[in-house]
Amino acid sequence: MTTETAAGRFGRYGGRYVPETLVPALQELEEAYAAASADPAFGEEIARVLREYVGRPTTLTPARRLTEAWGGANVWLKREDLAHTGAHKINNTVGQVLLAKRMGKKRIIAETGAGQHGVATATACALFGLPCEVYMGALDVERQALNVFRMRALGAVVRPVESGSRTLKDAMNEAMRTWVSQVSDTHYVIGSAAGPHPYPTVVRDFQAVIGRELRTQAQAAFGGLPDAIIACVGGGSNAIGVLHPFIGDASVRLVGVEAGGHGLHTKQHGASLTLGTEGVLHGSRSLVLQDEDGQIQEAHSISAGLDYPGVGPELAHLAKTGRMEVRIATDDEALSAFYEVARLEGILPALETSHAFARGRELARELGAGKHLVINCSGRGDKDVATISARGVPPPVGVKA
């Protein structure tokens, strides 16, 4: 089952809205990707790197104490936080950098929000020996110092972007401008399942390994399909990756959680699926936070990875057609969930991932005992400790002061 209604189109969404200079490069990428996909050797090479280097398959962990605390469905965690570099982003960068090598490209550029995609791209570039430049909003450079260091340690150049809101959307603008100038020898590794065709398809396919593994693991663990899968949604790469293999399974509820920021009434949020309107941003038609004059609004989220005013076109299609349910978690709810997961499961989830956990309790209760809820644990929270600890740490549990 696919939601692709024509090449690069997901219902009303998708397409390729880019300067003409880039169109031939996108066509070249589309053709190279089709050829690589048809080549068993390419698939085997990716599978080998994911196994030997990334540490796949990532485990499906029963979350016994969360299950008990929430008092509903059995809760399982798909542990993308255990993948090398600490998030799902590496699945896509390994695939795209291998593809770029196959295409004979000499250098790699990328954008990053939280820095996880930048780190994953820098990692793949170190592994395969290609120079790497990462564009990152200057605000994100400040709040993600750990990942900035990791990228530099891996040999990448981090270029802070000072324009606009100084976050992910501006980093993407600058990466696209750079790509227009150096398109002949450069591959642009987009990290979200967004951007112009074929990126939403390419990124989704490389990330769908999450959902495929989950299918097999669910069968082994509880003898069936999950009853619901929940994932956080910024641009949407972890969500589309875990959800896509289940689109055709009507019994499986697919749930995306968007950044509610300070609340949907405040205009400081990242809820493009819930409050966005149809528009074109970063090369595809999708749901976008914008004003009535078509100016893109600044998003807000405590998590840099969800601080984005757009969303991938396939997720927009899944949301608008009702196949995916969309829920909201605010900054405060995500923070509470972070500590809940830390203290009940011994896992520090990324702030992005904490948004998915924040809606876990109600979903587990809606499903009820005996059902199976899988939360995509998309990344680990080490990168967020400065942001989180700046707000104070709650008292220890079960220890006298």
Partner 1 sequence: MSGEIAQTFARAKARGEGVLVTYAMAGDPDLPRSVDVFAALVEGGADVLEIGVAFSDPIADGPVIQGAAERALKAGSTLKRVLDEVVPAVRKRCPQTPLVIMTYVNVIMAMGEARYAKLARERGVSGTILPDLPPEESASLRATFDAEGLDLIPLCAPTTPPARAQAIAKEGRGFVYCVSVSGVTGVRTELPPDLSQRLDLVRKAAPVPVVAGFGISTAEQARVLSAHADGVVVGSALVRAAHAEGPEAAKAICADIKRGLRR
Residues engaged in binding partner 1 (CB under 8 A): 15-25, 163-164, 169-170, 173, 176-177, 180-184, 278-283, 288, 290, 292-296
For helices 116-128 and 89-102, what crossing angle results, to 10°? 40
Nearer to partner 1 among residue 289 and residue 344 (C-beta) = 289
Tell the residue number behind the tokens 């749901």, with chain if given.
Answer: 287
CB of 34 or CB of 386, closer to partner 1: 34
Cis check: omega of the bond before 349, within 30 degrees of 0: no
CB of 322 to partner 1, least distance (A): 24
CB of 140 vs partner 1, minimal distance in Å: 16
CB of 187 to partner 1, least distance (A): 15
Cα–Cα distance for residue pair 375/40, rounded to 1 Å: 31
Any idea how long the chain is?
Answer: 401
- Quick one: tokens of 225? 């399909």
Closer Cβ to partner 1, 290 or 301, answer by number:
290
Determine how β-strand 107-112 pairs with β-strand 186-189. parallel
**306 neighbors 356 (Cβ within 8 angstroms):** no
Rg of the chain's alpha carbons, rounded to an integer?
20
- Complex with partner 1: residue 52 or 293, whichever CB lies closer: 293
Considering the complex, what minimum distance in angstroms separates the CB of residue 9 from partner 1? 11
Q: Cβ of residue 6: shortest distance to partner 1, in angstroms?
A: 11
Beta carbons within 8 Å of 198's beta carbon, 6+ residues apart: 8, 26, 29, 30, 33
Q: How far apart (Å, rounded) are the C-alpha atoms in residues 231 and 222?
A: 20
Give the active site residues. Answer: 89, 111, 378
CB nearer to partner 1: give 9 or 79. 9
Angle at 82 between CA 340 and CA 202, to 5 degrees: 110
Contact by Cβ (8 Å): 334, 358: yes
